[in-house]
Structure 1
Amino acid sequence: MTNDCLFCRIVAGEIPATVVHETDRTLAFRDIGPKAPVHILVIPKAHHRDVAELATADPALAGEVLRICAVVAEAEGLPERGYRVLFNVGEHGGQEVFHVHAHILGGKPLGPMVAP
């Protein structure tokens, strides 16, 4: 955990979140600024800056994050019509919180790109 990381503070229970799924190593919660009717973030509880760092440091945990994305999407009823899983990497990639997180977006047609 890093003290200045928003998501580490959510994992620690210091900042509230609407949790939809939790395992020993992951946490999934609703985004506070949703870009779609369903917008859920899936994070590893361990701090990793981005998905590239996570994949290098702990490939098994990276796989678990992806598996939890599928579990959460299923629980939200998204697979039948489709959904998007998105990782932003770095400032130019649109990453705002530098703790790796997957966005699960669905519940409406998303088109080719998600507008900021």
Structure 2
Amino acid sequence: MSSSQGRRGSLPGTSRDGEGVLSRVSSSISQSPIVYRGKLAASEAATVAKKLLWSTGRAAWIAGTTFLVLVVPLIIEMDREQQMNELEMQQASLLGTSSPSMAAPAPPK
């Protein structure tokens, strides 16, 4: 076996302990302060996004339940009153009389 071939099956740039060039570069990059700061920033961004999502969900829940409790009954009552007004107008037109809401105001004296 020639010395230029090295060990059988080994790649050029591979040391005897099995650590290749790529693994050495990879481990030095992963220990870099820039990578550490990037991971820290990503972690903080994920935490902020999670809190924002949580608070948005809570706000949506509060708005939805408030709408159901306060606004929906109001809409139902307004619709009921509108139907009553239409019914009074239909009855007045069938009987040929004007309803109290349609009566002309008395002239001032």
Q: Please indicate, yes or no, whether the TM-score normalized by the shorter chain is above 0.5.
A: no
- How high is the TM-score relative to the length of structure 1? 0.19
Over alpha carbons, which structure has the higher Rg? 2
TM-score by length of 2: 0.20
More strand by share: 1
